[in-house]
Structure 1
Amino acid sequence: MTIAAQVAQIAAEARQASLALARLGTAAKNRMLSAMAAALEARSGLLMAENAKDLEAGRAKGLSAAMLDRLMLDEKRIAGVAAALREVAALPDPVGEVTKMWKRPNDLLVGKMRIPLGVIGIIYEARPNVTADAAALCLKAGNAVILRGGSEAIHSNCAIAGILQGVMSGMGIPAAALSLIPFTEREGVLEMLKQEETIDLIIPRGGESLIRFVVENSRIPVIKHYKGVCHVYVDAAADFDKAEAIVVNAKVQRPGVCNALETLLIHKDVAAAFIPRIAARLQGLGVELRGDEEFRRYAPTAQPATEEDWAAEYLELILACRVVDNMDAAIDHINRYGSLHSEAIITADYGNAQRFIREVNSSCVLINASTRFNDGNQLGLGAEIGISTTKLHSFGPMGLEDLTTTKFIVYGDGQVRE
């Protein structure tokens, strides 16, 4: 059977299985997830043996130490994956929730009810824990899921998926509701992206190049964010202690993630007082500063910023810094160079804070808090499938509710339309 035929068959079987999964009650889904967690822990020896094959192949390919670390599974990490499944089991089930009801003049009672999306395709890179995490979130929301992980983790991913499918089969749940594309050829991704009749949504998780490839080749709607060019604006009414703590946390705590700070904007009225302080602190922590001419007046050891720096997602200890005349200029800069991800204002002025909230249209806008909080777990979703910077159908971190849609429900008593 060709790769195209295999992918089409996997997608068709997932569609059929999604119908059975959508009928599964909350208690049954939670039992399934809890059993999956226990099975992963019980089969940890198998998982580590299969993971060792991926690590050996990765070393032979010359993968970096950081990439090999992302790939690695040991007892502690497997326990962490199991704990994540149990956390998803403990989350409220959005399926079946009636979000609103209203009565029409003819006494029809109209409402909206949450239902699963159907079949979700997840295309992701190295981390094998995503196989379990993504599957758990999709299944809890009543969706079938088709997983296509990176070639670097193929043995680990197949082992995890096999264990989870075994639990499903043992409980009488169609194993096809959790499918894994079992081959690494890029053709498998391309064929997956053609299955618009059977797959309802594609979610890519990985670097910008992967996401752009998926978007350019998909016939199916794609939830995406290309990059996180995140800003902190230090207003004229900022508390400097708060500003320093927030800027340092947003840039330094974990610089290689999408919600890390990449550009610092500072109101001209506080530039002379705040820039020497924040520059010394950041440079002492190993941050390379790239500033405009005004910023470098007060931080002369900073490198000159170029036009490319304002749109850069560094994902390392580099920070672009600019002095702006006022909030209008700060918002204009964010609108021009931002990526609709995460933006923060540091201010004690309530009016300025509210204006920033209204006029900055990124997926998460924060007042006096670090951009690092734009994360599903941190915002109270329990877990997330990813962050969307597209406004349809979800914007920001995507939790269980975002893996559903709504349908209209109508209660009548014999009404007919005139």
Structure 2
Amino acid sequence: MDIREYVVEKAKSAKAASRKMNSIDTKTKDRALKAMAQALLDNIDNIIEANSLDMEKGKANGLSKSLLDRLLLNKARIEDMASGLVKVAGLQDPIGETIRMWKTPDNLTIAQVRVPMGVIGIIYEARPNVTVDAAGLCIKSGNTVILRGGSEAVNSNKTIVDIISKAGVEAGLPKGFLQYIENTDREAVKVLMRLNDYVDVLIPRGGAGLIKTVVENSTVPVIETGVGNCHVYIDESADFAMAKDIIINAKTQRPAVCNAMESLLVHSAIADKFLPYLQQAIKPYNVELRGCEKTAVILDDICKATEEDWGKEYLDLIMAVKVVSSLDEALDHIYKYGTKHSEAIVTKDYFNAQRFLNEVDAAAVYVNASTRFTDGGQFGFGGEIGISTQKLHARGPMGIKELTSTKYMVYGEGQIRK
């Protein structure tokens, strides 16, 4: 079977299953999600064994520490994946929800009702936990899913899909509800991106290169998940201890994810005192600071930032630092270099906080909190399919409602249009 035929067969199976998934009741979906969670827990050793093969290969191929961290599965992470499925099972089923209903002058009753999208294709890199998150959210929202993970996680993904798809079918889901494209040839992605007859939407989740490729080459509609050049702006009225804690959390808790901060902006009125205070506090975390000319005057032994640094998503323990003269300059900098993902201000000034909230164009905007909270689990969605930086129906962490569409149900009594 050639690559095109292989991918088309997967898509056909997902399309056939979507007709049945469309009418699967909530109890069956929840039962399946819990069964899949238990299957993960029952197979922890098998999953870790498969993941170790990917980890060994990744190290041999020179994957960065950040990518290896994304790839790694251990008992705690697998338990978190299982817990996420249980949480999704506990969420209210969005399918069949009546969003609005009204009567027309012709006495027609029209209801706008939430329905599944159908077949969702997800193209992603490195993180095998995405395999479980995507499957769980698609099931709860009544969709079937085609997964195409990166070559670096093929053993982990294959093992996970085999485990949870078997559990899902045994619990009552239609065979074919979860498809995984094992072929790691890039041609498989090219084929998937053009299967409009079978795939309703594609969601790329990974680095800038992957997202750009899918957006520019897909004929299937795409929901674009975003690169995260996230900023934290320290206003002149900021509490130093709060600002320090937020920066350390946003930069160091998990630097290889898209909601980690990459750039720090500090008001010039406090820069002389705050930057040395921060440098001392963040030193144990081994964060490399790359500063503007003003920052380099205040701090010793730091690298000077280049123009490239201001727009860089490092995904590493590196942070660009710029001293700004005002909130306006901070807003201008974020407008120029931000990726519309997550931005934060630390301030005691109510009016500056409101200006920041209102004027920053991003999926999530924070006052006195870490950008690391931009996450479906943290928002109470039970997980996420990705974080959209678009302005279509889905923006920010995409949970089950963002994986639905609507249709109009029209009730008449024999009316005809004149």
TM-score by length of 2: 0.91
* SS of equivalent to 1:176: coil
Q: Secondary structure at the match of 2:316?
A: coil
CA gap 1:80/1:241 in 2 versus in 1, 3 angstroms: closer
Q: In the alignment, is residue 343 of structure 1 matched against residue 337 of structure 2? A: no
Kindly report which structure 2 residues correspond to 1:194-343, keeping only aligned pairs within 5 A, or say none.
194-343=194-343
Aligned counterparts of 2:344 and 2:64: Cα–Cα separation in 1: 33
| Match in the other structure for 2:163 | 163
Determine the structure 2 residue equivalent to 1:132: 132
Paired residues of 1:283 and 1:289 also in contact (CA < 8 A): no
Question: 2:235 & 2:241 partners in 1: Cα distance?
Answer: 13
Match of 1:402 in 2: 402
SS of equivalent to 1:179: strand
Q: Is contact 2:32-2:172 (8 Å) kept?
A: no
Moved more, 405-414 or 240-249: 405-414
* Structure 2 equivalent of residue 365 of structure 1: 365
Alignment map for 1:29-68 (pairs within 5 Å): 29-44=29-44, 46-48=46-48, 50-51=50-51, 53-55=53-55, 57-58=57-58, 61=61
Q: Deviations over 1:310-352 (max 9, x none)?
A: 1111222222111222222111110101110111111222121
For residues 56 and 227 of structure 1, do their structure 2 counterparts lie closer, same or farther at Cα, with a shift above 3 Å needed?
closer
Contact 2:266-2:324 within 8 A present in 1 as well: yes
- CA separation of 1:285/1:351 partners in 2, compared to 1, >3 Å: closer, same or farther? same
Q: How far off its partner does 1:76 sit?
A: 4.9
Structure 1 range deviating more: 219-228 or 116-125: 219-228
Kindly provide the CA deviation profile for residues 34-59 of structure 1, in whole angstroms up to 9, marking residues without a partner as x: 12222333344554554455456556
2: CA distance between counterparts of 1:155 and 1:55?
Answer: 10
Partner of 2:5: 5
Flag the 1:14–1:304 CA change in 2: closer, same or farther, 3 A: same
Mean CA deviation greater in 339-348 or 181-190: 181-190
How far, CA to CA, are the matches of 2:75 and 2:186 in structure 1?
31
Q: Which stretch of structure 1 is more off in the superposition, 281-290 or 188-197? A: 281-290
Shift of 1:145: 0.3
The whole-number CA distance in structure 2 between the counterparts of 1:27 and 1:303 is 57
Which deviates the most, 318-327 or 338-347?
318-327
The 1:50/1:293 distance shift into structure 2, 3 A limit, reads closer
Provide structure 2 residue ranges, at least 5 long, that are not aligned to the other structure. Answer: none
The equivalent residue for 1:119 is 119
> Deviations along 1:159-189, whole A, 9 cap, x unmatched?
3222333234334532212111132222211
Q: Relative to 1, partners in 2 of residues 1:58 and 1:341: Cα closer, same or farther, differing over 3 Å?
A: closer
Check conservation: 2:226, 2:387, Cα contact below 8 A. Answer: no
> Paired residues, what number?
418
Per-residue deviation at 1:260? 1.3
Most deviating of 23-32 and 161-170 = 161-170
**Structure 1, residues 83-123: CA drift from partner, whole Å, max 9, x if none?**
22222211221111122334445554444221111100111
Q: Is the 8 A contact 1:225 1:387 kept in 2?
A: yes
Q: Distance in 2 between matches of 1:79 and 1:294?
A: 47
CA–CA distance in structure 2, aligned partners of residues 68 and 368 of structure 1: 31
The CA distance in 2 between the partners of 1:369 and 1:232, in whole Å, is 9
Q: Please name the residue that 2:151 is paired with.
A: 151
CA distance in 1, matches of 2:6, 2:170: 24
| Residue type of the alignment partner of 1:196 | N
TM norm structure 1:
0.91
Q: Which whole-Å deviations, capped at 9, do the CAs of 1:226-261 have from their partners, x for residues lacking one?
A: 421111111223222322221222122222221111
Partner secondary structure for residue 176 of structure 2: helix
SS at match of 1:203: strand
Distance in 2 separating the partners of 1:258 and 1:367: 19
RMSD: 2.5
Q: Deviations over 1:179-229 (max 9, x none)?
A: 111322222111111101211111122222222222232111222234211
Aligned to 2:383: 383
Structure 2 CA distance for aligned equivalents of residues 290 and 73 of structure 1: 32
Instruction: Give the % identical residues.
Output: 50
Contact 1:3–1:187 (CA under 8 A) maintained in structure 2:
yes
**Residue aligning to 1:186:** 186
Match of 1:86 in 2: 86
- Contact in 2 for aligned 1:296/1:304 (Cα 8 Å): yes
SS of 2:405 mapped into structure 1? strand
Matched-pair contact (CA < 8 Å) for 2:203–2:225: no
| Bigger Cα displacement from structure 2, 408-417 vs 269-278 | 408-417
Stretches of structure 1 lacking an aligned partner (at least 5 in a row):
none
Q: By how many angstroms is 1:407 displaced? A: 2.2
Q: CA deviation at 1:354?
A: 1.2
2-side partners of 1:347 and 1:78: how far apart?
A: 38
1:351 and 1:167, CA in 2 relative to 1: closer, same or farther beyond 3 A? same
